[in-house]
Structure 1
């Protein structure tokens, strides 16, 4: 018996901002799973900023997407057929076979999760998944957060940023500041997530808005944006400040080198530490993260917003919308 699957392929490598013509939708047939394999019907697919970098044929921490083959990414679904003794039909599994409605994978590539533990399976791609782990370890381990710190988060209304700010408040931050790209997102940060203040980076120079929001400076900067946000954070950083570099979405589609930051000399006098990190290196903290944060998600003390686009055929639109900042919280495709 064969199973029909709809897959999204990379048809050509984007130059600058991706466009729909860079992708193609392909229908293919998948066989019954062989020994040690499972066939998964995806329920939710994650689209994330890092995927833009995988579309370039350049060396990186993860192999680039290959042309005319299925793309991949975080997904969660239900096992439809199984050739693996330890994974039964009907089990819910988390895996990297996204950008398709069905995936045939080795059992070693999936992780069985408890559907009863969450109100929606999407939580395993959001607050209880790599998104949450990125925020948790980036703030606590990489930036070495301490109670009483003033924390600035760029891209704060995004999937990772929303978690960083709330975890900082939960752990005793003196002040949490966020940047976002609209008035509605600023309101979301302050009124829904409990940020002390936030600003719309489109309203004026980031450096001036950050200084007004943090007149006593910042101790921690969690960077999801890069560019002028990083330069502004360096200027506002207190002595012995720490910067965790998670992403640089402002530069992912650029065709010319960034103009900022231009103030790296301040690292010397301020004794600033800046560290880039990958969540791929932090999976040993997953158990601690879930034990610490899951109860707060269940109680509603930590909120995780989602922007959901329906239909596998709309995956590209969801991805492009995420790059344009059209999402609040995590951008997901409901298959």
Structure 2
């Protein structure tokens, strides 16, 4: 039987299992000339999918109700009538949450499990790594000796940003939600310091303490009060990179926040949001860099692997509880 996960209804606040619907169908898919039959191996769950579950205007169309949800997927070619793919190939691309599906091959990239674990093509060697590398370099313009603060630092993107920053000679400070994650940042990823926002009594003061020379770059994955605190510590000509705002994705009312304009004007600072596809022309060079650093041992990664197709919704929901360390992936 082929299993599929549909968007059953649009969440109000944090997603719940009731927002998803599981369906099954007979596994009698056939392919036509130019098509391939795929079997799902790994599924990426990411915070940005929450935005697509709403019907608000965004940079990508919302998911349709009663239609399969899509995200980054690694799949195995189990049958092919497409000259570009053969049985046994593994591919990466934006695919549906289905155990099997038919594709014409457009938008799919072959991935080589002999060079790196297949799951890394959803993480450090996939959109996660590209987001970290391009956001930091294209907007942050890092210079050796500067100080960077990263929120959501133990997450998939944040942990890679910090490592790249260390490679480039920066002082790296991470903000995360548990002492275990802070220890991981310092021991595995080489961060210079970390702040647990759940135990901190004054994040503003804690940032000032670990960044005595101020903050030159802020890579923001969370938004909200944490980001407000960082603003009080930015230097002149600071660069603030807005990658995400997971702390407010489930809000049902407009969040209250301080006004950023005085901080930006006073410090002649830059604040810019981005999506990784803005820099699609730079993907090949970025991927080459990431692959080289990974091979040389300069870059590492952490994955939270959840087993089983039926657990995809739970894994996604767990992102908003901070239950992941690094990239959250479901292995089918």
TM-score using structure 2 length = 0.96
Which whole-Å CA distance do the structure 1 matches of 2:264 and 2:47 have between them?
Answer: 28
Partner of 1:226: 223
Residue of structure 2 aligned with 1:71, choices 69, 72, 75:
69
Q: 2:36·2:80 contact (CA, 8 Å) conserved in 1? A: yes
- Residue 155 of structure 1 and its aligned partner are, at CA, apart by 0.1
Residue of structure 2 aligned with 1:245, choices 242, 259, 262:
242
Residue of structure 1 aligned with 2:107, choices 106, 109, 127:
109
Kindly report structure 1 stretches of 4+ aligned residues shifted beyond 6 Å.
Answer: none
Residue of structure 1 aligned with 2:122, choices 116, 122, 125:
125
Question: What is the correspondence of 1:14-33 to structure 2 with a 5 Å cutoff?
Answer: 14-29=11-26, 31-33=29-31
Is residue 39 of structure 2 the alignment partner of residue 41 of structure 1? Answer: yes
Partner of 2:209: 212
- Residue 278 of structure 1 and its aligned partner are, at CA, apart by 0.4
- Residue 154 of structure 1 and its aligned partner are, at CA, apart by 0.3
- Residue 98 of structure 1 and its aligned partner are, at CA, apart by 4.1
Is residue 273 of structure 2 the alignment partner of residue 299 of structure 1? Answer: no
Residue of structure 1 aligned with 2:132, choices 128, 131, 135:
135
Please, which runs of 5 or more residues in structure 1 have no aligned partner?
Answer: none
Is residue 168 of structure 2 the alignment partner of residue 197 of structure 1? Answer: no
Partner of 1:323: 320
Number of residues paired by the alignment? 330
Which whole-Å CA distance do the structure 2 matches of 1:130 and 1:322 have between them?
Answer: 17
Q: Which stretch has the larger CA shift, 281-290 or 61-70? A: 281-290
TM-score using structure 1 length = 0.96
Question: What is the correspondence of 1:145-294 to structure 2 with a 5 Å cutoff?
Answer: 145-173=142-170, 175-203=171-199, 204-294=201-291
CA RMSD, 1 decimal = 1.2
Q: Which stretch has the larger CA shift, 29-38 or 94-103? A: 29-38
Which whole-Å CA distance do the structure 2 matches of 1:84 and 1:100 have between them?
Answer: 21
Superimposed CA distance per residue, residues 48-74 of structure 1 (whole angstroms, 9 cap, x where no aligned partner): 000000000111100101111110000
Q: Which stretch has the larger CA shift, 234-243 or 100-109? A: 100-109
Please, which runs of 5 or more residues in structure 2 have no aligned partner?
Answer: none
Which whole-Å CA distance do the structure 2 matches of 1:328 and 1:9 have between them?
Answer: 26
Which whole-Å CA distance do the structure 2 matches of 1:36 and 1:290 have between them?
Answer: 28
